[in-house]
Structure 1
Amino acid sequence: MEIAKAVVIATTAPHDTPWPSMRSAPKALVPVANRPLIFHDLDQLSAAGVLETAIAIEPAGSAAMRSAIGDGSRWRMNVRFVECGPAPTLAQVLGGASGFIGREPVLVQHAGSLLRDRIHSHITAFAGERLDALALRLPGALELGAHDDGALDGSLLLSERAIEILAGDELRADPLSRVREGGGQVRVQEVDGCLPCLGPQELLLEANRRMLETLTPSIPHDSVLDSRVQGPVVIHPTAHVERSLVRGPAVIGPRARVIDAYVGPSTSIGADVVVEGAEVEYSIILPGACLAFVGTRIQESIIGRDAKVRRAFEPPSALRMALGDGAEVVLS
């Protein structure tokens, strides 16, 4: 029973936690390691041999999701979109995707299910054991409330029988219990990974660290002048690094400029970012942001698109800030 189809739920979840630094885009499109979260999902699914994927999206983010992902050809799979309301139940997602699923087994997961394990080995186990449901459960996800929308705290492999049982259940019940009550064979497998979309913004930093640890170093020498690069680092050919120390794992995106700076481990520098006379580590700096002569190291931070953090040298000395709703500033 090989699985060739997947459904990725890229909608908001019950009790959704907003991310103040990234209100303008669906969570699934927020980058970790300089790539949108859902791109990492599609990488994993493609590597597992999935040929077709349906992505459940909300109308508010539909245009952005469709534009970013396209038809899925870059992952050598066919991608289609299924529009749902906010925080759909698992039954609603399966019902909305019923025409896509047909009478086949399917893999269902939330966007941003960043597993360290290779999914294909679990698909093989699912088939070999003739299971109706196999839950790939992420540590700590239940504490984030994943159980509230059907225990999708990782990935869920479902047989045709399990889909029939769950498609008629409009309650937010544990799908494994429902399948077991319907006479299906069920197993839970603990896997290593994280699920940032179901938690607070700080989980993105952990997701970013995990993805950066998988980097294959790439350092174009023409982009690096009078600088030291240590550990696994990816620097885009159009980036410019001068008189700086970059200590990986880290990634520096297209047209970024890092001058007289320190970029420490677990840091993603997005496209068109400027880091000048500043130090940053364990952080995500989104495209277009600028860090200049800050005067203290920035760490455990997420700097939003086109944001500016800089030091002005003219007197009087003071903090001057323009902060949006939900923003947080910690001085230490």
Structure 2
Amino acid sequence: MKALVLSGGAGTRLRPITHTSAKQLVPVANKAVLFYGLESIAAAGITDVGMIVGDTAAEIQEAVGDGSKFGLEITYIPQERPLGLAHAVLIAQDYLGDDDFVMYLGDNFIVGGITGLVDEFRTHRPDAQILLTRVPDPRAFGVAELDPQGQVISLEEKPENPKSDLALVGVYLFTSAIHEAVRSIEPSWRGELEITHAIQHLIDVHSDVRSTVIQGYWKDTGNVADMLEVNRRVLETMNRRIDGEVDDKSETVGRVIVEEGARIVGSRVVGPVIIGAGTLVSDSYVGPFTSIAENCRITDSEVEFSIVLRNSSIDGVGRIESSLIGRHVEVTPAPNVPSAHRLVLGDHSKVQIHT
């Protein structure tokens, strides 16, 4: 069995971070989201991985390498443009051959991994097996309709009027039957080959399509709010570890990780928190659910429920929370200037100004 990991896509919902970085490499608890997926694939006993890459291919390849550090063997498959999940299967056919495979979206996060799902698929070998989870607003997802016996009877991609609240999670398992299906469909109104249409084709020709409704935690880390929530979830599972330096004037409370080479000086850190190697936290407060990457500087500030990427500094700005701060960022106080209102008003305007 092989894996097909999708690591292309523009990551528009995470801009401006993804203007200069692949969305799959944005860190959660100081580790790239993509790495959690690769570790789950390896834990499921799969070693051969085809990785779909696009404009950020060089960055993905630099971070992942040949896959050996994950116990995997990676083959990179370029995709000129993101033309849909089914298109990714189409261009990977030569690599996949007749093997069964799991398709994993590289920006998805599933607590507990996929080992149980892969074992179930290996036992029963349906033509396709999909993961579903209940969501409050399914219009942003592929949506499955099940009959009273739990059989999949239809799939729709981002429907205006969903037939259920069951959204497709970004993990799919297929036999080679999917290759004929992706060749049989036409691009959607979005100009993409939709995997939902390919699976619907399998349903229409009476192939064996099964579903598993997962009860655990899943997130598509495509926006800042979801990134922060996944970061919180991961930090909650970590154990306290102090490998760096904490001076006598500092206090660390709860599940705090201070990596080797990091320093906490005259500060209070309340976990769960991770402080990356080479980072200095001085005269500051770092609150729960915060990840600060390597070689950062936090001085005379408060940071809580946030992600700070490497080589960034926050100096004398009071309190920051619910924030995602990119690499090589400097956050400093604004200069003191007289308070004033600057207006350009058309004829007959009425303006109310609070003084």
TM-score by length of 1: 0.85
AA matched with 2:81: P
Question: What does 1:100-119 correspond to in 2, within 5 Å?
Answer: 100-119=95-114
Equivalence for 1:322: none
Answer whether contact 1:40 1:112 (CA < 8 A) is retained: no
Answer whether contact 1:142 1:153 (CA < 8 A) is retained: no
Given candidates 21, 31, 38, the residue that maps to 2:34 is 38
Given candidates 304, 307, 313, the residue that maps to 1:281 is 304
Higher relative contact order at CA 8 Å, sep ≥6: structure 1 or structure 2? 1
Given candidates 20, 26, 32, the residue that maps to 1:24 is 20
Question: What does 1:179-328 correspond to in 2, within 5 Å?
Answer: 179-191=202-214, 192-197=216-221, 199-220=222-243, 222-226=244-248, 227-295=250-318, 297-311=319-333, 315-316=336-337
AA matched with 1:9: L
Equivalence for 1:326: none
* Unaligned runs of at least 5 residues, structure 2: 144-156, 160-166, 188-193, 341-355
The alpha-carbon deviation at position 204 of structure 1 amounts to 1.2
* Matched residue SS, 2:56: helix
- 2:95 & 2:239 partners in 1: Cα distance? 35
- 2:100 & 2:116 partners in 1: Cα distance? 16
* Matched residue SS, 1:54: strand
Answer whether contact 1:92 1:170 (CA < 8 A) is retained: no
Answer whether contact 1:251 1:268 (CA < 8 A) is retained: yes
Equivalence for 1:169: 185
The alpha-carbon deviation at position 24 of structure 1 amounts to 0.2
Answer whether contact 1:139 1:193 (CA < 8 A) is retained: no
Answer whether contact 1:138 1:154 (CA < 8 A) is retained: no
Number of residue equivalences: 310
Percent identical residues: 28
- The structure having more radius of gyration, on CA atoms, is 2
In 2 relative to 1, CA 285–143 (structure 1 residues): closer, same or farther, beyond 3 Å? farther
Query: Deviation digits for residues 206-265 of structure 1, max 9, x if unmatched?
Result: 121122223233212x51112222222221111111222212221111110011111111
Given candidates 102, 114, 120, the residue that maps to 2:115 is 120
Equivalence for 1:64: 59
More strand by share: 2
Q: CA RMSD in A?
A: 2.5
* Unaligned runs of at least 5 residues, structure 1: 320-332
The alpha-carbon deviation at position 104 of structure 1 amounts to 0.8
- 1:309 & 1:317 partners in 2: Cα distance? 21
AA matched with 1:178: H
- 1:293 & 1:132 partners in 2: Cα distance? 58
- 2:242 & 2:183 partners in 1: Cα distance? 49
The alpha-carbon deviation at position 105 of structure 1 amounts to 0.6
Equivalence for 2:190: none
In 2 relative to 1, CA 134–280 (structure 1 residues): closer, same or farther, beyond 3 Å? same
Answer whether contact 1:139 1:194 (CA < 8 A) is retained: no
* Matched residue SS, 2:241: coil
Answer whether contact 2:8 2:57 (CA < 8 A) is retained: no
User: Does residue 171 of structure 2 align to residue 155 of structure 1?
Assistant: yes
TM-score by length of 2: 0.80
* Matched residue SS, 2:57: helix
Of the structure 1 ranges 302-311 and 211-220, higher mean CA displacement relative to structure 2 is found in 211-220
The alpha-carbon deviation at position 55 of structure 1 amounts to 1.0
Query: Deviation digits for residues 27-73 of structure 1, max 9, x if unmatched?
Result: 11111111111111111111111111111111x21111111110000
In 2 relative to 1, CA 130–315 (structure 1 residues): closer, same or farther, beyond 3 Å? closer
